Amino acid sequence: MTTTALGGSAVRVTPLALGCAGIGNLYRAVTDEAALATVDAAWDAGVRTFDTAPHYGLGLSERRLGEALRGRPRDACTVSTKVGRLLVPDTTADPGDDLADGFAVPATHRRVWDFTADGVRRSLEESLDRLGLDRVDSVLLHDPDRHAEQALREAYPALERLRAEGVVGAVGVGMNECALPARFLRETDIDVVLLAGRYTLLDQDGLAEVLPQAAARGRSVIIGGVFNSGLLTAPRPGATYDYAPAPRPVLDRALRLREVTERHGVPLRAAALHFPFGHRAVASVLTGARSPGEVRDTVEQLRRPVPAALWDDLRAEGLLDPGAPVPVDTPSNEPS
């Protein structure tokens, strides 16, 4: 199986990674059986990289992922979780649901932002308990947008110590904006940036600083949100872009993208999956799924060949940044 190291670490990732927010009941509930089958389908397809977080379903994603991986060889896969939000039990008699934060689960806990050193260690310990694992391979600071200074001064050094102690193999930051990840790349020794939604066919903001910084420093980028909340899977009125209904100009651009890709016999979602691999800093593309069918479709699209002429046409029509490198080979996720 093809794998790539994260930065200068020994942690390796497959080209396709499974994002586990979906099995944490993102937006709508899935059964335990469907969640387990989703992870099984990813494993059977050669995916060996799994990303989760306490935030996803108030711990449900971590519990389900741990259950799905139980009995599988631990050294055969890479597991990543995140820190920055502690889960505190909510003692309200009728806590309601967590849909305000995007998850169809009972609101049994409250999320409390904590980027202190103690918070980092406590969060990781609680994640390991939910996962039922003795270790994770990488840990990311999760959305420290409003806590930048504390994340840099307290949380990052704590992760650096955990890496030095051998508790984790790689550390980084996971965000859906570019300025702070670029600062982490400049000011710290992180191994990886998980950049969501900012290096896609619709939004190439990551090309300005994050990707060049990572490449120059020998660090890695994992690209999430390649479908921009679903718009690049099926662009139509009402489709979501960055978790909200797509503005008309953005929808029109997505429709133009689809016209070009389908002219070459390539589904838009296939081109969206392939695009990030053109940049040498990109180690993996992270996609979510909530069913085996979604996993199999993603793998199928990644296996589709994309002709060079498609990228040429996107550039000619002003739909692709002229400086954006494009892929020349199809990544392989086949088990060896």
Residues involved in catalysis: 56
3-state secondary structure 301-315: HHHCCCCHHHHHHHH
Token digits of residue 155: 């949380």
Q: Collect all residues with Cβ–Cβ distance below 8 Å to 242 and sequence separation of at least 6.
A: 176, 197, 228, 229
Residue at token pair 């081109």: 271
What's the rounded Cα separation, in Å, for the pair 115 and 99? Answer: 24
In the three-class reduction of DSSP (H, G, I as helix; E, B as strand; rest coil), residue 164 is classed as helix
Closest by CA to 53, choosing from 97, 86, 5, 102, is 86
Q: Beta strand 244-245 with 240-241: parallel, antiparallel or unpaired? A: antiparallel
* Cβ(305)–Cβ(327) below 8 Å: no
Which ranges of 218-247 does DSSP label H, i.e. alpha helix? Answer: none
CA distances from 149 to 22, 47, 83, 187 (A): 31, 35, 15, 12
> Is there a contact between 133 and 73 (Cβ–Cβ < 8 Å)?
no
